[in-house]
Amino acid sequence: MGKVAALGCLVCDSPANVHHIRTERIKSDFLVVPLCREHHQGDFSIHNSKEQFTNIYGSELHLLAETLERLA
């Protein structure tokens, strides 16, 4: 998860924490994407306005694919 956070926020390149993608009660440390605090839990974020966030930046799976590409 440290390597993922070190990538910086996928949206704005600010320092990032990791956002866990949850699928049907599963939370895995392998399903994480880097997002800054604002894009993770701020007013306009994946947690507080998920539908709008997804419409602009893509689905969590899209963000995961981008994360894996950057790690490669």
- For residue range 33-70, what is the model confidence (pLDDT) as tens digits? 999 999 999 999 999 999 999 999 999 999 999 999 99
Q: Which CATH class is domain 2-71?
A: alpha beta
What is the per-residue pLDDT for 23?
78
Residue 21 binned pLDDT confidence (cut-offs 50, 70, 90): very high
- Cα→Cα distances 40→11, 46, 64, 72, Å: 10, 5, 14, 23
What is the per-residue pLDDT for 28?
85
The structural domains of the chain, with segments of one domain joined by +, span 2-71
